[in-house]
Amino acid sequence: MGFRARDLWLSLILLITALCLIVLFMLTAGCSSGDSTKDNGTPGDSQPGTEHEVPLTTLAQGTNSEYGRFDEVPIPEDAPPECMIITNEEEYLRLISLAMLEEPETAVDFESEIVLAALQGPKNTGGYAISIMRASQNGAQVRIEVDVVEPDPGSMTIQVLTSPYHLVTAERSAFDPNGELVFSFYDQDDSLLSQQGTQI
């Protein structure tokens, strides 16, 4: 009887242990299943967008302009470049007139295009240049990369008044999504030059 009772107790303990392991396994599987659903993304989860390049076309570029020289408050020579988004013809013609830029031969259709402008400001020597190199969009964020060239300190430069500029166009349809977008302009050192929101 003693052996039989001990065998029963051992069987009972093994059965309880097996049941506990089964329950524990089921709970673990349920938790991991819930995590994988969350990782795969459920409605309402904020997932980062996919970055894509926005094609740009040069509209006008040069060093000879009067931008920043004849404003009510002239722009100082050491001021950072000014970057802007132009979404209508009135703003565009105002910039062309105030900066005395040579009006580009190509007309801009603001129904389907916008203009991005980078203006380095007035300089008293040569050796300066500015170029809008690339635009990319990720969700509502648009990144504009601008190459800013300055002469090395102490280098020999021509003594001439300059004010470099670069204007490019981008198709409105190239922005996806549209709506209220934030445009951030960065130089080649990844320093933020300007950040503006506008409706596209």
3-state SS of 58-98 is EEEEECCCCCCCCCCCCCCCCCCCEEEEECCHHHHHHHHHH
> For 169-197, how does the pLDDT look when each residue is reduced to its tens digit (9 = 90+)?
999 999 999 999 999 999 999 999 999 99
Which pLDDT value is given to residue 98? 80
Which pLDDT value is given to residue 14? 65
Q: Could you tell me the pLDDT band of residue 34, with boundaries at 50, 70 and 90? A: very low
Quote the CA–CA distance of 132 and 167 in Å, as a whole number. Answer: 8
For residues 111-125, average pLDDT: 93
Q: Among 89-93, 157-161, 164-168, 182-186, which is the least confidently predicted range? A: 157-161
The mean pLDDT of the chain is: 82
> For 60-74, how does the pLDDT look when each residue is reduced to its tens digit (9 = 90+)?
999 888 887 765 566
Single-letter residue type at 11:
S
pLDDT at 159 over 90: no
- Let me know: does 128 contact 86? Beta carbons within 8 Å: no
Three-state SS at 145: strand
Quote the CA–CA distance of 85 and 169 in Å, as a whole number. Answer: 10
